[in-house]
Amino acid sequence: MKILVAAKRVPDPNATIKVRPDGTGIVTDNLKFVVNPFCEIAIEEALRIKEKQGGAEVVLVSIGDKVAQEQLRTGLAMGADRAILVLAEGNVEPIAVARAIEKLVAQENPDLVLMGKQAIDDDSNVVGQMLAEMLGWGQGTFASEIKFAGDKGSAVVTREVDGGLEDVEVKLPAIITADLRLNEPRYASLPGIMKARKKELKEIPIADLGIDQGVQVKTHKISPPPARQAGKRVETVQQLVDLLHTEAKVI
Residue 251 lies in a domain: no
Alpha-carbon span 107 to 79, nearest angstrom: 22
Number of domains into which the chain is organized:
1
Residue 72 lies in a domain: yes
Tell me how far CA of residue 86 lies from CA of 2, 52, 68, 241, in angstroms.
19, 30, 10, 57
Residue 178 lies in a domain: yes
pLDDT at 251: 67
Instruction: Report pLDDT digits (tens) over 194-232.
Output: 999 999 999 999 999 999 887 788 888 888 888 888 888
Alpha-carbon span 155 to 148, nearest angstrom: 4
Residues listed for the chain: 251
pLDDT at 91: 83
Domain span including residue 201: 2-225
Burial (CB count <10 Å: 0-12, 13-18, 19+), residue 66: exposed
pLDDT at 225: 85
| Residue ranges in the chain modelled with pLDDT below 50 | none
Residue 236 lies in a domain: no
Interstrand relation of 174-178 and 138-148 (parallel, antiparallel or unpaired): parallel
Residue 237 lies in a domain: no
- Strand residues in 172-224 grouped as ranges (E): 174-178, 201-205
Residue 240 lies in a domain: no
pLDDT at 231: 83
* CATH number of the structural domain spanning residue 210: 3.40.50.620
Alpha-carbon span 116 to 37, nearest angstrom: 8
Alpha-carbon span 10 to 226, nearest angstrom: 23
pLDDT at 54: 81
pLDDT at 215: 79
Tell me how far CA of residue 104 lies from CA of 85, 169, 222, 235, in angstroms.
11, 25, 33, 64
